[in-house]
Amino acid sequence: MTSHALSDEPTRVAKLVGAFLTGQSGAVLGDGDGPHAILTAGADTRDDCAIYDLDGPVTLVVGSDYVRGAEFVLYEQGLLTNFDIGYYVVAANLSDIAAMGAAPIGVLTVVRYPHDLDDDAFLDIMAGIHQACTDWGTLNVGGDIGNAERIVLSGSAIGVCHTGTALTRRGARPGDYLCVTGPCGILGAAVAYFPKRAVNGWTLSDSIESDLLTSWRRPRARVAEGRVLSTGGYATACQDTSDGLKATIEQLAAASGVGFDVTEDDIAIHPAVSAVAKLIGSDDVTLAMSASADFQLAFTVPADRLDACRGAFARSGLTFDVIGRATAPDRRVAFTGRDGTRRALPGVAWKHQNTDISTLVTNAVPPQGGVPMSTEHTAYLGERS
């Protein structure tokens, strides 16, 4: 594309956004034989709100995430496109729906942009949003567009599940197995690597760099895994790992009032995480558990349901790893290393504007004022609501 047209907001709504919204009304959304919703008035009707007719008994699950799009550090470096950040805002919101075990029935998006963002760049953002919705079998049913000082993206995801099956963080019990749907830390590793690659003279193989960038360009919300956990009644507690694995385990423990014993040998490590850990002067387990916007699911399963849960995952072509066990409330979250020693969980837990992955990078320099940049939704992505 070579045009640099700058349409006004009504024109963008009528002529540009509309191409992604046609034929929505009447769509049946949900999960196969599970609860569903009929979108009786979608964004194609140009009403103020979308209208759903729900097939009950149904629980409606709604989540929202805010992303300050232009401040993705990888976007600023030209490593992410407008399409990529549009895709990301949908994945981030659907990940919250996935953690509740719901089937997505729609996404609302807010796209704010500077005056000089031309039509092609705007369309790229909308195309990313549309593609992500398509990939998860849902629809962008409306929202808002308009001007701002920079690109700002926000979204809300809507999902449904049978009443009484929604997953929360609060149900883990002593003896439950602690599980995770896949390796963590790769998005944090990308943020640790690329901003300092040139100044430090770091080099990694093309395949490793591709894996790091793909983790940001096409993040995967674990909707299918969440549905298995919800419909089968396997999980006693569940949460996505968008704050990093360490933070997620600690939050699950606090919400459920249990401790956890986590075993180092059971933590799966992605090869890209190992490669970056060597460069930044960290160990791979520490990096894997640190602040990272991964969208894996961490969940607990009773011991007598573990095999059945594995079987259900396998029938859907899915897998998970057992990484620990829930303990009595008076036990702390502990980590057993390969040498048999017990200590606190390694890594840097994401805490709003206070800690992030940069503290693991050798000679990392915090931004002006002494507060390190946050990995997930503050300096690297935008603020999480």
d(CA 273, CA 192): 10
- Token look-up 């949908």 returns 90
CB 359 within 8 A of CB 348: yes
CA atoms within 13 A on the CB side of 288: 21
User: Left, alpha or beta for 300 (phi > 0: left; psi -120 to 50: alpha)?
Assistant: beta
Q: Which amino acid is at 222?
A: R
Tokens of 43: 């964004």
- Token look-up 């100044």 returns 199
Helices (H), the chain: 9-11, 73-76, 82-99, 119-135, 186-200, 206-217, 223-231, 245-256, 271-280, 284-289, 306-315
Strand order in the sheet with 152-162: 58-67, 152-162, 103-113, 140-147
- Binding-site residue set: 48, 64-65, 96, 143-144, 169, 240, 242-243, 350
- Binding-site residue set for Mg(2+): 48, 64-65, 96, 144, 240, 243
d(CA 243, CA 291): 6
- Token look-up 């926000």 returns 154
How many helices (H) and strands (E) are present in the chain, helices listed first?
11, 14
- Binding-site residue set for substrate: 350
Task: Give the dihedral sign, CA 310/239/278/201.
Answer: positive
CB 357 within 8 A of CB 243: no
- Binding-site residue set for ATP: 143-144, 169, 242
82 Cβ partners below 8 Å, 6+ apart? Answer: 121, 122, 124, 125, 128, 151
CB 40 within 8 A of CB 53: yes
